[in-house]
Structure formats: C-alpha cells, structure tokens
Structure 1
Amino acid sequence: MLPAFTLVSGQEDAVQLAKLLKAKYIVPMKNGDLDTKGIITSILYDVGTTESFKELLSRELPNVRVLEPTPGIPIEIPVASVVS
C-alpha cells in the first residue's frame, strides 16, 4: 500500500491560502473532480463539495467572493480602480 498522499490539498488549505494572500475573489478549479478507472480508484476519494467550500469560506472570510466558471464562458473579475 502506498503511504498517504494528498493529491489535492483541500478546502481548509485553500481558505488558509486565501487569508495569507488577502484574496478578494476565489475561482474554484474543481481539479479534484476526477473520472478514475482501474486499480487506482480504490485509493482515490472525494472530500467536500463546492457548496461546502463556499460555506467554510463564508464563515472564515465573509468578504471573499466565489466566482464559479462555466466551461466555454469567460468570467469577469471586477478590478478596483487604482488611484495614484
């Protein structure tokens, strides 16, 4: 058996990184959504959903906005004006 290996860090780590970076927006990439086949499927599993991430984020960072992309449709990220 292989030692424990986190393929995707997870929601808690994403929230901590957002805190560190003082993020205003987060775009979930859903890189953990895998369509697996073969022997490896027995050791891979999903933890959490986009909805559970949004709930965690709203508790920890209520001012951060989640932007959910739709394949093939560009998303717009609002940028505040910079005054010199």
Structure 2
Amino acid sequence: MAISTLELRHIIESAFLPMRSTCSASAHGELTIEIIDPATGLNVVFGGIPMASLGTSRAISDLIAQLRAQVCRPARHANAYRPRAMG
C-alpha cells in the first residue's frame, strides 16, 4: 500500500519544524519542497523530486536527511537534490 500524497506532504513539512516548509506535488508525480526560516531569512526550494522514489519510510527518511544536510549549505546546493541509489 502506497502512502498518500497528503500523508507524504505532512511528514515532510513536519520534519522541518520549527522552520516553515511547503511541499507540493505536480501532475507529473514530482515534489517541490520550499523551506523557509523566518529567523535567518533562509529560503530554499528543491524541485523535481520523484514521488515514485518515496515508497518506503526509509526512502522518505533518507530524503529528509539529504535535504537537511543541503539546507545547512544553501548557497552552494540550492535546487541540487540528487537521489541516492537504492541498494
């Protein structure tokens, strides 16, 4: 059973609290995630994330970890999401 888009959005948006994040899905099955930190002025957008690659809790957790790492260095890595090979 696959996770619904609504549940996926909630998981991802909750993972970046207390920052504000918005997760939207395209008709082509791709996610765009915007992360905003009002305290620092950080505003980073990650797009083109294939929803099909997020079928397990492990894949969702890995995505969140990758995005958190990139948020720490937004100037060099904005819009640079690269999915890891699943082994």
Is TM > 0.5 for Structure 1 vs Structure 2?
no
The structure where strand makes up a greater share of residues is 2
The structure where helix makes up a greater share of residues is 2
* TM-score, normalization by structure 2: 0.23
* TM-score, normalization by structure 1: 0.24
Structure scoring higher RCO (CA < 8 A, sep ≥ 6) equals: 1
Q: Which structure would you say has the larger Rg? A: 1
